[in-house]
């Protein structure tokens, strides 16, 4: 199985098992590597804008003399949120859900991140 196929399988499981409708592994420059999105959504748009949000937060934190963030969280309501997590120097992990509260989404993101990192190390 290719790395992209393995990543896509993990992302699809996030939707089928936990209702995480949008997930992607993206380069820090905004290129999609693997994704699971509803039809009609653009992987390129999600990738580019998520990388921009994460990169901007890194600039803000390091410009303030603080460490780079490991994750960025955006909430739009009690059951609607996005988490962007660092996967190291080369990639980020994006998850969005309208079915999980932020703590549930963060827990699932932490669990999935382990599998995503393992798959990427096998590259």
Rounded to whole angstroms, what are the CA distances from 52 to 29, 70, 115?
Answer: 8, 15, 24
Domain ranges of the chain: 3-121
The pLDDT value recorded for residue 121 is 84
The pLDDT value recorded for residue 86 is 96
The pLDDT value recorded for residue 78 is 83
CATH of domain 3-121: 3.30.450.30
pTM, two decimals, is: 0.92
What averages of pLDDT result for each successive group of 10 residues across the chain (123 residues)? 91 94 97 96 97 97 96 91 95 95 93 92 71
The pLDDT value recorded for residue 104 is 94
Evaluate the CA torsion angle 83, 104, 118, 39 in order and state its sign: negative
């Amino acid at each position: 199985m290719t790395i992209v196929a393995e990543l896509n399988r993990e992302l699809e499981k996030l939707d089928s098992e936990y209702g995480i409708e949008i997930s992607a592994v993206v380069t820090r420059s905004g290129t999609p590597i693997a994704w699971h999105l509803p039809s009609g959504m653009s992987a390129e748009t999600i990738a580019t804008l998520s990388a921009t949000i994460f990169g901007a937060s890194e600039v803000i934190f390091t410009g303030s003399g603080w460490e780079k963030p490991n994750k960025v969280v955006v909430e739009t309501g009690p059951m609607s949120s996005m988490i962007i997590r660092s996967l190291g120097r080369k990639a980020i992990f994006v998850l969005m859900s309208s079915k999980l509260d932020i703590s549930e989404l963060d827990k699932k993101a932490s669990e999935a991140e382990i599998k995503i990192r393992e798959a990427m190390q096998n590259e």
